[in-house]
Homo-oligomer: A and B are copies of this chain.
Amino acid sequence: MNKEREILAAALKLFVAYGFHGTPTSKIAREAGVANGTLFHYFKTKEDLIVALYNHTKEQLNGYLLTKQDESDSLESRMKSLYAASLEWGFEHKQEFYFIQQFHFSPHLAKVSEEDKEKQSRLHTGLMKQAMEKKVFKSLPPSLIGSILGSHVYATHQYLDSADLKTEDRAKVIDETFAMLWAMITK
Contact = CB atoms under 8 A, between A and B. Distances in A.
Interface of A: 17-22, 98, 101-102, 104-108, 138, 140-141, 143-144, 147-148, 150-152, 154-156, 158-159, 162-163, 173, 176-177, 180-181, 183-185
Contacts of A185: 180
A177 to B, nearest CB: 8
Contact of A20 (B19, B159, B184): B19
B102 A105 contact: yes
Contacts of A101: 105
Contacts of A20: 19-21
B141 A163 contact: yes
A100 B155 CA distance: 17
Nearest to A138: B180
A19 to B, nearest CB: 4
Contact of A143 (B21, B98, B162, B180): B162
Given A18-B107, A138-B180, A144-B173, 11 more contacts: A19-B107, A21-B21, A22-B107, A98-B105, A101-B105, A140-B176, A144-B159, A147-B155, A148-B156, A150-B155, A151-B155
Given A151-B154, A180-B184, A184-B180, A108 B159 contact: no
Q: Which of A105, A158, A176 has the most CB of B within 10 A?
A: A105
A140 to B, nearest CB: 7
Contacts of A183: 184
Contacts of A141: 159, 163
Nearest to A157: B147
Q: Which of A98, A102, A147 has the most CB of B within 10 A?
A: A147
